[in-house]
Structure 1
Amino acid sequence: MITVERLSKRYGRHTAVEDVSFHCEPGTVTGFLGPNGAGKSTTMRMICGFTPPSAGTATVNNVDYRQLPNPGRQVGLLLDAGAQHPGRTGRETLTLSAKIMGVPRRRVDECLDQVGLNAVAAGRRVRAYSLGMRQRLGLAQALLGDPRVLILDEPANGLDPEGIYWMRGLLRDFADRGGTVLLSSHLLREVEAVADRLVVIGAGRVVAQGSRDELLAGTGALVRARDPEALRAAVDRAGLPVRSSTDGGLLVDAEPGAVGQAAADSGVALLELRPAESAGLEQIFLSLTAGDSVREAVK
């Protein structure tokens, strides 16, 4: 499993990640979501020991990643599909990794076949690969050591719809066999389809986390009015927790009846009032991260 406890990273005066905590259990896929610059990649790099944290700890199977003997046999990583030697062929890339990790040579062919790179593709130089092919090669490298944990940063970049569907099945099968997956992605619908748990990060902080069903249950009400300012004032007077929706309405953490009563007490005419359970992951993501900078964090 993966355990992150109060992880922070500061670059001078800039805080990229602040007090982030979550865990990923065996047998699950955890979707790690957030806008550009939110701190997803920095957090993943700290988990893997590539970026030293300013505070906090991260462990894999209760051990600091840097202390794992032969880590590729326990943790499969794909943090940057472009970080591959362009002059080597796909097969040479995996063969070298297999020698370093001490895995049988047959694993090279097994993993190439698993990710859909045939003999022709495996014989090409990486410089001739499309982004989608590099992603497949990166996944093959992550799977090469037959690990029980996968940490993947945007693995679907460059994949066509068929490739995304294939990857979703691969990750689901990996988790169903007891593996642990931490998956960062901008493809919210694909994450929604495969993830068991969700961690949403904005401006370097975790803004929501829990099981997919918990976060998508959408407890509360979605409400819109002709006078949005009067509606917000009415809800505030009633003491109901509220945040803005992306369609100009409000998401209120209360039953629709309570929201309607608050509006009626203040004489506010409503255009829409319904349970928020149909909002979906995209709506939740946008509302939770509204106002966060979409600029990449300064590193």
Structure 2
Amino acid sequence: MITVEHLTKRYGAFTAVSDVSFTCVPGTVTGFLGPNGAGKSTTMRMISALTPPTSGTTTVNGVAFRDLPNPGRHIGVLLDASAQHAGRSGREILSLSAQLLGVGQKRVDAMLELVGLAGAPEKRRVGNYSLGMRQRLGLAHALLGDPSVLMLDEPANGLDPEGIFWMRGVLRDFADRGGTVMLSSHLLREVEAVADHLVVIGNGKIVADGSKEDLLHAGGLYVRGLDPATLEKALTEAGLSVQPTRDGGFSVASDAETIGRTALAAGVVLLELRAADSGGLEEMFLRLTSNHDTFGSNPDSSKDAA
């Protein structure tokens, strides 16, 4: 389990993460989403004790990362697939880590086989690996200590469609066996395919936190009128939550009778009034984060702009 409570990180006058709280529970894949510079990587770096928080706490299975005995046996972390020694082979990198973690070479063999690097690829220097191969090695490294928690930042970068499908299966199997997965990715369709829970961050603050099913089916009603501007004004003045859609209609959190009576009172002819389509994760993401794109404003590492 990963628990984040009231986490804040400031760099001078700039607040990268502001009072963030959420939980990733065993048996689930949690998609951690947000636009560029929203604070995703800063949050993940604070969880893994690479960046000290200004305030707030994070724990892994109830213990702060820095207090975990042999942390790699509890949480597997992949934040940057390129952060590997380019002059060593894939097997050498895993073998050295296996010694530190206290696991045997059979575990190294099993992980190389799992990620498709057994045989000739394991003997090649990592500097000659493609990005996809480095991602596979990074996942093998995260799984090496047989942890109960995985935290992965953009693990599918550089993978071809077959590799992405394979990655999805590995993560789903890990969670189905009781593991906890926290996954950050810009590949929204892949997150939608594998995640059970979604946490969306924008401008350093949590803007959505809930099960995938609940968040993707919370669209309310869709309404479209002959005079969109007047309709929007009437619905807003009636105190209803109104979200414009791309086709000139509106998603409204209310019931059909209230919407219909409001439109009638405003003299607006309705063309459509029905249950709103969920639009999928991409539509929800754009709706929730449309005012939160902060690319270039985060003074932390350039990785955090992702």
Q: TM-score range by the shorter chain?
A: over 0.9
Question: Where does structure 1 lack aligned partners over 5 or more consecutive residues?
Answer: none
Distance 1:6 1:244 in 2: 32
Contact 1:16 1:204 in 2 (8 A): yes
Secondary structure at the aligned position of 1:278 is classed as: coil
Partner amino acid, structure 2, of 1:54: T
Structure 1 runs of 4+ off > 4 angstroms? none
Partner amino acid, structure 2, of 1:266: A
* Structure-to-structure mapping, 1:1-299, within 5 angstroms: 1-296=1-296, 297-299=298-300
Partner amino acid, structure 2, of 1:38: A
Shift of 1:245: 3.2
Question: Where does structure 2 lack aligned partners over 5 or more consecutive residues?
Answer: 301-306
Contact 2:197 2:212 in 1 (8 A): yes
- Normalising by structure 1, we get a TM-score of 0.96
Distance 1:68 1:246 in 2: 48
Contact 2:219 2:251 in 1 (8 A): no
Distance 2:140 2:83 in 1: 14
Cα-to-partner distance string for 1:182-240 (whole Å, 9 max, x where unaligned): 00011111111111110011111000111111111124123334543222211112211
Contact 1:246 1:283 in 2 (8 A): no
Task: Give percent identity, aligned residues only.
Answer: 64
Cα-to-partner distance string for 1:144-198 (whole Å, 9 max, x where unaligned): 0000000001111111111111111101100010100000011111111111110
Task: Give RMSD over aligned pairs.
Answer: 1.4
Shift of 1:294: 4.5
Contact 1:220 1:256 in 2 (8 A): no
Contact 2:219 2:278 in 1 (8 A): no
Bigger drift between 124-133 and 224-233 goes to 224-233
Distance 2:226 2:92 in 1: 64
Bigger drift between 82-91 and 210-219 goes to 210-219
Cα-to-partner distance string for 1:46-100 (whole Å, 9 max, x where unaligned): 1111011111110001100010000001100000111011111111111111111
Distance 1:16 1:246 in 2: 30
